[in-house]
Amino acid sequence: MKSGIQVADAMTINVISVTSEFTLSECAKVMDSNHIGAVIVKDNGASLGIITEKDIVRKAVAKGVSVKKAKVRDFMETELITINPDADIYDAMIKMRDNNIRHLPVVQDNEIMGLLTIKDILKIEPQLFEIIVEKFELKEESRKPINRIIPTEGICQECGEYSEKVKEVNGVMLCDSCARQEKMLA
């Protein structure tokens, strides 16, 4: 299900960056003052990676690392998952979902052109929320009302199209057309 909106139209162009020599504390202050959850790591103009709030909390703070001494270079992610600015935001959302990330560097000709976040996409196309929600972890999920709600509309997990009427068939949510095909194949 393509949205018709390109990544270039939704991404943040003026990406905030820090150097690999920043301490985690300095990096967190940059994130806080800019109200962002991730920064690109650059040295001498070359992009080296990305570091997120989640990286700082889970890789350092939770392990008792001193954020005033630890350097960004030791906690940043260098194996970047990226997307092209010409891609559809639907494809970006799928990539984020499949890789369990919330920040996606936008790269063209090996250069970071921008940064796309889940918030950027959902602000423009809120109906794409269903694509990402299946990856959300809910603590004590079985006790929550969400577990008792049976959706009547949503994205067909077979064809990927939105349908006002989906139903569960063998543990998969299907539109009427795909459900009929499933019955014929069975």
Residues of the chain with CATH 3.10.580.10: 7-129
The predicted pLDDT at position 100 comes to 87
What separation in angstroms does the CA of 66 have from each of 55, 63, 151, 153?
A: 14, 9, 46, 48
* Contacts with 129 (C-beta within 8 Å, 6 or more apart), sequence order: 122
The predicted pLDDT at position 143 comes to 54
The predicted pLDDT at position 115 comes to 96
Among residues 139, 131, 177, the alpha carbon closest in space to that of 155 is found at 131
| Residues 83-95 pLDDT 10s | 999 999 999 988 9
Give the amino acid at 138. L
The predicted pLDDT at position 12 comes to 93
**Torsion sign, CA atoms 90, 87, 8, 136:** positive
- Asked whether the predicted pLDDT for residue 26 surpasses 90, the reply is yes
| Residues 59-92 pLDDT 10s | 999 999 999 999 999 999 999 999 999 999 999 9
Instruction: For the full predicted model, state whether its pTM sits above 0.75.
Output: no
The predicted pLDDT at position 142 comes to 56
Mean pLDDT of the chain, nearest integer: 87
Query: How far apart are the C-alpha atoms of 170 and 90, rounded to whole Å?
Result: 26
Would you identify the CATH topology of the domain 7-129? CBS-domain (3.10.580)
Q: What share of the chain has pLDDT > 70, as a percent?
A: 87
Backbone angles phi, psi at 116, to 5 degrees: -115, 135
The predicted pLDDT at position 171 comes to 77
Query: How far apart are the C-alpha atoms of 122 and 87, rounded to whole Å?
Result: 16
Q: Sorting pLDDT into bands at 50, 70 and 90, what band is 32?
A: very high
- Asked whether the predicted pLDDT for residue 21 surpasses 90, the reply is yes
- Asked whether the predicted pLDDT for residue 145 surpasses 60, the reply is no
